[in-house]
Chain A
């Protein structure tokens, strides 16, 4: 069921955050900060914006979703759980040896709906451009969404793809760029802003929104839907750990380590909408 009500979507995001914490809890590691920061965007994408199904086949109207940032799989699994595609046992196996609920993404890795093999960054936009280009040639009305993050804006391949996308007028390509201003070595080691201005210079429509504000996200997609002559990007400013103060406030929260005794506190801190 598609939701357009911000209050309902906040409840969805809340459930997703609980899934994220459930996955990460007790593991001492895992991308809990990123999973939490993504929840509002994933809630809107999977419960409101996209006409998505795990096996799109040749459906000309289906939207496709490419998660470029492999280690953000935790957010994807939480969305799949929300859609009933994964159960609690699946979530509990996150990152464990032999589990298909891996800490990255793998096409053909045993989870329906995973389009892209992630892990190596800067791959998603190019593959998304290929999908969108093929579908444009075939006259499909469905859109192709690519979720990428600010670190990937530093990859040259992202810009190769951005240039091609506007040249080919891929108006059914929508990039969701999650800017949390943190990368592997800490706070952005190479400034990426102004992301939206750069994209506009590359021939895209781009708008900045607060990626942890469901109302702003909905408005952003609504504005994007009115553009029909170029690829579109929502540059979404997010905060790692959003929705759980303890995680949010951790200084070192890339690949966050939470002591075993702290997980109960984290679970109780998942903020109600």
Chain B
């Protein structure tokens, strides 16, 4: 039977032969210098900016679509986008945008005021599943309500938007129902990008149904893997094979400075270690959310480099006051003293984190330098608990999310374990609970049904305190602030600050609010981080945005 044996051996040796032939290639793929391959953590959900709220969807959508107001790459500074200038009425409720001329959508439709209003009206008219937070999260957060969304969804009474009128071709006038300080900042958000009205209609962007499983299934083709994602941006959609790759090509008719890269390809790689390995072998050119322990490895490598994302986030532990005995301020103070924040920040962030003392980073106006601080002190925590009349140890249900890495929390499991251990030393007895990030953990945390303490965090969307304080603390159920005098006062103060037109008065108000939040220990912020991206050395020009609004237009590959 030697014949078969020989054949078998030869065949088995084939892969080795292959390996030998291909050996020595550190950069496996033939790296075309006009194409960038980016390792995303997942596919975008859909290429319809109005219906997205997750980072990977933003990453791709922000290259195809543009907003009226833009951010200078790498900063939160507001610069002209599709609007070249803007003005606010005296009452503060009417915004006039002067639009850029000579811009066309990728399908040739001219960009004008009618197109802008078509988009704003489209969002306002969302119904049913499209109007729910799970679809149009940012519209809900910023504008609050819709014209006629259906049962159980916020309607006209809550809506911030009144109407949009086109004055001529290039002036769009947007009227709001009340003063909204951060309106311009909000207009830089990806979900408020302008899509081609022709394409929206032609490809049935609003056609959808609830399937037998209750999933909102787009029945139209807009923004699906079939294509038809039509914006004004520096890149156009080329193709999308779900789970494999999404390809964008340069828009050679772009109104501004054209992109250097001819193509950008996004490959979804769920596992972080796999992303690093793909970068090392040259199969991708870069990725986001580098884990702290890999930073040294990347810096040591002669082909790779680390890029810093300016810090604009906060990691925190929520305290649910609706759960006894956390309605007692002494107990909340004990939690603050019982969390080993310095230890966690030092050990799990590779030197890229600083201990946080309030719910916004120092770079945001309204940051208060005089908030009460709670140093790690197990003895003090125990004393406070006894003072509150409780018998030690006090049981506390502490939830943490599995299967997720966030810029402010690269390894929730480690943060949790360290915090749990320090709480256990501080007179508590931690009951550990966990759930997958989406949908369970976030859902429960939002509803306030995830025990007493949750590990969470927030990256700011625009440079305004409302983006942080509003975004984080308006989830009343999460912090047990419903039917709670603390909540009532907090929201009243926040709303007042929102409606204040004078900037320096606003900042002072927010400083006072921050002091109040930390006096009441509504939650315990613990870290601001500087997230990291990794790229091959020949990728230049990438400017990481603090608000995750990275642009690929200015990126090029050398050599």
Q: Do A and B bind each other?
A: no
Binding site for B on A (CB under 8 A): none
